[in-house]
């Protein structure tokens, strides 16, 4: 069991370290404030846990089996990503011409940050399919399937809260540099462009 747990946490680290939409959004929101970034992390990990529980009950198999359901979720996910990308590019445009002053953008409410992280995760059908294929590999032989899967999903979510919390902390430590409008505008442009590209990729990935 300890060996399985160590292997599971190692796999969770590799999963979290892989760049993706959630990483981009967490860093983007952390530019607003640590609170906004951390609440985005909590929203994202709520989605991770939800998909883990859904996988434990075997419901993600229905999503995989139904091409229509998968395609609907894929398009919704693409729209969500594009929406976040457009927001970032608009924020960068508002900052244009303010190269040498501190960023003055209004921070998002806590609920908006949490909701953004949750929505981005739940709108991604690949997250559901991945949970279904990832978690069962670490259920020990002879262990009760449902409670073990739910427990692993909870551990996965809690572990990633700590992992992505380091991103939020690091961005906060770099606040003096990142709060300059010129730097902030460039970061908004990059994150917005990446989110748009990821949205387009998801839409075209049939």
What pLDDT sits at residue 129?
80
CB atoms within 10 A of CB 142: 5
What pLDDT sits at residue 76?
82
pTM assigned to the model: 0.79
Q: Is residue 5 part of a domain?
A: no
DSSP-assigned letters across all residues of 10-53: HHHHHHHHS--HHHHHHHHHHTT-HHHHHHHHHHHHHHHHHHHH
Q: At what angle do helices 21-30 and 181-204 cross, to 10 degrees?
A: 160
Q: Is residue 145 part of a domain?
A: yes
Domain carrying residue 56: 21-204
Q: pLDDT (tens digit, 0 to 9) for every residue of the chain, 206 residues total?
A: 577 888 899 999 988 888 788 888 898 888 888 999 999 999 999 999 999 999 888 877 776 677 777 788 778 878 888 888 888 788 767 665 544 444 444 456 788 999 999 998 988 877 888 888 888 889 888 889 889 999 999 999 999 999 999 999 998 888 766 666 566 677 777 878 888 887 888 788 75
Q: Is residue 121 part of a domain?
A: yes
What pLDDT sits at residue 195?
81
Residue with tokens 């929101």: 29
**54 phi and psi, to 5 degrees?**
-60, -40
SS3 content of the chain, % helix, strand, coil (to 5): 80, 0, 15
Q: Is residue 45 part of a domain?
A: yes
Q: Is residue 14 part of a domain?
A: no
What pLDDT sits at residue 124?
82
**180 phi and psi, to 5 degrees?**
-65, 135
Q: Is residue 10 part of a domain?
A: no
Q: Is residue 39 part of a domain?
A: yes
Q: Is residue 94 part of a domain?
A: yes
The domain total for the chain is 1
């Amino acid at each position: 069991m300890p060996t399985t747990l160590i292997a599971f946490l190692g796999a969770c680290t590799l999963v979290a370290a892989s760049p993706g939409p959630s990483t981009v959004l967490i860093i983007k929101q952390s530019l607003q404030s640590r609170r906004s970034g951390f609440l985005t992390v909590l929203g994202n990990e709520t989605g991770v846990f939800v998909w883990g529980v859904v996988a434990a009950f075997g419901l993600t198999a229905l999503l995989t089996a139904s091409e229509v359901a998968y395609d609907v979720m894929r398009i919704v996910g693409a729209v969500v990503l594009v929406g976040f990308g457009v927001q970032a590019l608009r924020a960068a445009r508002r900052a244009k011409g303010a190269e040498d002053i501190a960023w003055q953008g209004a921070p998002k409410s806590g609920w908006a940050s949490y909701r953004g992280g949750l929505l981005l995760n739940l709108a991604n059908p690949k997250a559901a399919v991945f949970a279904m294929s990832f978690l069962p590999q670490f259920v020990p032989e002879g262990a009760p399937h449902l409670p073990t899967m739910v427990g692993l999903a909870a551990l996965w979510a809690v572990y990633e809260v700590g992992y992505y919390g380091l991103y939020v902390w690091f961005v906060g430590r770099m606040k003096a540099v990142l709060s300059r409008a010129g730097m902030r505008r460039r970061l908004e442009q990059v994150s917005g462009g990446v989110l748009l590209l990821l949205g387009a990729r998801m839409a075209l990935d049939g």
